[in-house]
């Protein structure tokens, strides 16, 4: 049986344990030659429930996992115990659960992945990446992006975004590599010059952190692929070897998650090209100062 690591998952973040546990249950079911419908019947559920479990989309009842392991022929406690321990992690309460009123379902998965990633690479053409925003800048852009929201909801959304930025200041933070168009720095949300000035100062401060790299693509030095109409995107990598990289594409009211090899190859190539087209990191700092 494949060895399952449970210690590296972020505490209070069920996303990665769910994906790992689901993938292992799928591997065991396939190896046992058992159909999804038959597995669903064994736990008083359906084939579609098994599918959602295997994709890490829902929580896991310990009894269901125990019954499935028995069905799949996993009887040795040495093999069962790590997976049952992973079940407890998969049902942990996430820190963003307290923000359920302002976290849409399509964004919840991203929060879990961002919180667990070891490397985050992102490209932005319109706004400073969320993890690099100041509170005032976040308040301005969230207000513009949510014109129907009342002030209390805006403040909840700002608090959520500021909570996310805390991962850059953890004892073992992810490596963040951000490539941003110069137009991002020229755009003043709500025409607040002071807000943008403070935001650029904040970018300079963050760029001094050893795990943060910021590169600027100057106007007129358009990335070679830009004519293809590519939009902002992020690539997340995880320390767990069993997890593929994820490409995240966000729209106003939904998001797309890509993990197929052919998609990853395209976006990784584009990101590498962007880093080559952008001003080198040291020069980007001087660009921000100027």
Q: Give the per-residue pLDDT at 10.
A: 45
- The rounded distance, in Å, linking the Cα atoms of 120 and 108 is 17
pTM (predicted TM-score) = 0.82
What secondary structure letter does DSSP report for 166? G
Instruction: Give the residue from 114, 86, 92, 85 showing the smallest Cα distance to 11.
Output: 92
Q: How far is CA 180 from the centre of its chain?
A: 18
Q: What is the pLDDT of residues 152-187, one digit of tens each?
A: 999 999 999 999 999 999 999 999 999 999 999 988
121 vs 169: CA distance, rounded Å = 17
pLDDT in tens, 119-143: 999 999 999 999 999 999 999 999 9
Pairing of strands 233-237, 246-250: antiparallel
What pLDDT is attached to residue 8? 39
Which band of pLDDT confidence, cut at 50, 70 and 90, is reported for residue 226?
low
pLDDT band for position 269 (cuts 50, 70, 90): very high
Cβ contacts of residue 24 below 8 Å, gap of 6+? Answer: 2, 4, 83, 86
Q: In what order do the strands lie in the sheet with 255-258?
A: 212-217, 175-181, 119-124, 233-237, 246-250, 255-258
Q: Residue 3: what pLDDT?
A: 40
């Amino acid at each position: 049986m494949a060895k399952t690591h449970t210690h590296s998952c972020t505490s209070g973040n069920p996303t990665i344990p769910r994906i790992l546990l689901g993938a292992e249950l799928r591997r065991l079911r396939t190896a046992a030659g058992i159909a999804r419908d038959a597995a669903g019947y064994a736990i008083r559920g359906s084939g579609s429930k098994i599918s959602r479990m295997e994709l890490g989309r829902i929580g896991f009842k310990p009894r269901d996992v125990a019954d499935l392991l028995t069905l799949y022929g996993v009887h040795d406690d040495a093999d069962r115990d790590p997976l049952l321990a992973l079940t407890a992690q998969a049902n942990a309460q996430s820190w963003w659960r307290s923000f359920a009123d302002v976290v849409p379902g399509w964004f919840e998965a991203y929060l879990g992945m961002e919180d667990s990633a070891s490397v985050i690479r992102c490209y932005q053409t319109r706004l400073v990446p969320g993890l690099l925003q100041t509170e005032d800048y976040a308040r301005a852009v969230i207000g513009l992006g949510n014109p129907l929201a009342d002030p209390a909801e805006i403040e909840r959304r700002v608090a959520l975004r500021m909570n996310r930025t805390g991962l850059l200041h953890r004892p073992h933070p992810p490596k963040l590599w951000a490539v941003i168009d110069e137009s991002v720095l020229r755009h003043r949300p709500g025409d607040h010059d002071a807000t943008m000035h403070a935001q650029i100062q904040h970018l300079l401060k963050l760029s001094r952190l050893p795990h943060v790299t910021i590169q600027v693509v100057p106007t007129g030095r358009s990335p070679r692929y830009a004519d293809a109409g590519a939009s902002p995107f992020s690539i997340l990598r995880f320390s767990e070897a069993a997890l593929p990289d994820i490409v995240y594409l966000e729209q106003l009211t939904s998001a797309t998650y890509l993990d197929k090899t052919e998609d990853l190859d395209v976006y990784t190539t584009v990101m590498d090209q962007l880093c080559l087209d952008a001003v080198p990191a040291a020069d980007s700092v001087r660009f921000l100062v100027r």
